[in-house]
Structure 1
């Protein structure tokens, strides 16, 4: 199943179906061989000053990858808060879930939320309302989220097909000019610029072949 998944994801015709790419691209993160190879190809998108570049938590602890999945139901149907667990891939069922397509938590060397965005465009800037909605959703899904998320780093990995327009620069939150934002919106922008680290990865046929050859 792993080899078939990787071959399908890397196939040139597959990028024509972005909705399927979004549904299946995150599955590869369940395999240690994939993570071990990915961290060598992961490109950091340098954050704005005064934040400094930093290696992904997966590069320092690639064994922190998820080993099982948990689906997150749509909030409008009513959900029961669950304990947050490390090394679990959380997959939202809602098609319009904000910010990421899936996410997991790593506990070492630092407590980190790793969000996966299956990106097909060359830019993937977000908005303060999207980030705020994501935070609210997390509080609705997980017990004690406010305490759990304190001092938690965020990493966003933009996973792209080799035929996509590559993301090469930091993806901002909010508009370029922030003077007209409310205080609450400015707080979210400051959080994004100071607590979020972004990375880009291109899934290519050559990358898949290297993994399969091992």
Structure 2
């Protein structure tokens, strides 16, 4: 998960390779799983995003001039990105944003946490533990 305010959201080949390595460590049968996975990126635009800042084109996967991967590995990964990764954009409406905050607040109160940030931190730790468990 990445947050950014940039107009372009290019992903590097190195980031994709490293992400795949990470996933491979999470699954004992990653080779089979990876063939069945639907690869999707969802860009969520805040409800008040200026029209000029909205994503209007496919976000590419750029080759790295420096890094630990040779040109052939990078080209295979770039091809994977262009052929297998679907990209979507969701424009978050004001109503959706309000409901999201309300839902977070309800959970925060149920768990007796002082801030939403505490809830987010707890969820991150739970996900990290699940990944390490698998």
TM-score interval w.r.t. the shorter chain?
A: 0.5 to 0.7
**Aligned partner of 1:168 among 52, 56, 67:** 56
CA positional deviation for 1:119: 4.3
The number of aligned residues is 92
TM normalised by structure 2 equals: 0.59
Cα distance between partner residues in 2 of 1:122 and 1:155: 19
Matched, 1:205 2:90: no
Instruction: Name the structure 1 match of 2:40.
Output: 155
Gaps of 5+ in 2: 64-69, 103-134
Name the one with the larger helix percent: 2
By relative contact order (CA 8 Å, sep 6+), the higher-ranking structure is 2
CA positional deviation for 1:198: 0.1
**Aligned partner of 2:74 among 185, 196, 202:** 185
Structure number, greater radius of gyration: 2
CA positional deviation for 1:207: 4.2
Call closer, same or farther: CA 1:207–1:163 in 2, change over 3 Å.
same
**Alignment deviations for residues 130-177 of structure 1 (CA, whole Å, 9 cap, x no partner):** 0000000001122211221124320100112123421121000015xx
Gaps of 5+ in 1: 1-100, 102-116, 176-180
TM normalised by structure 1 equals: 0.38
Q: Secondary structure of the residue that 2:8 maps to in structure 1? A: coil
Matched, 1:140 2:25: yes
Q: Secondary structure of the residue that 1:123 maps to in structure 2? A: coil
